[in-house]
Amino acid sequence: MGLFLESSASNAPSEWVRRWSHLVPAGGPVLDLACGHGRHMRWFASRGHPVVGVDRSTEAVAAAGAFGHGVVADIESGPWPLRAQDGQPETFAAVVVSNYLWRALFGRIVESLQPGGVLLYETFAVGQETIGRPARTEFLLQPGELLRAFGELKVIAFEDGFSDSPARFVQRIAAVKPTLGAASAVEPVRYRLV
């Protein structure tokens, strides 16, 4: 089972998500996996994005539903809940994952991105076990693991280290799914760094 930890003390979107949200195409749909009470759904909805949040907690989805479409689903052992009318996986301009890790979903996350779609992912890394929860190895990313897991994406930013606020070992990635024909483009895409 994956682990999702959301601080009840703060319902503000993470600094990482705020920092890189400008990469998400304007008005594009956003998927928040393990959305909790919808802090990232609220952030993107306030910026004009339709949002979908998935969580296994009925209570969390009820709260998150105030900001967009909430889906109650067990994404670890149940079927993937987001399908388009043609039966193919629904795709999004962005997928956001924060404080949640279930490695078996890495491929599904990439499939859920539209060409040009943005992945904003951050969760706990090895070292966290020395200061608190989570402490079990299966819930902690190994050094560079997000880089390897999402190597087919264009990495815009990556961090792997210790954060003081709040104190935790964390790994983060902001990456874009290449668009068709991007390799042959005369002018490269300019992903603004802020």
- The structural domains of the chain, with segments of one domain joined by +, span 13-178
N residues, the chain: 194
Q: What was the pLDDT predicted at 183?
A: 53
Q: What was the pLDDT predicted at 66?
A: 93
Q: What was the pLDDT predicted at 90?
A: 93
Residues of the chain with pLDDT under 50: 1, 3-9
Q: What was the pLDDT predicted at 2?
A: 54
Please provide residue 67's backbone torsions phi and psi, each rounded to the nearest 5 degrees: -110, -10
Q: What was the pLDDT predicted at 7?
A: 43
**CATH number corresponding to 13-178:** 3.40.50.150
Is the sign of the CA dihedral 39, 19, 164, 151 positive or negative?
positive
Q: What was the pLDDT predicted at 84?
A: 79
Q: How many CB atoms lie within 10 A of CB 102?
A: 21
Confidence (pTM): 0.90
Q: What was the pLDDT predicted at 5?
A: 47
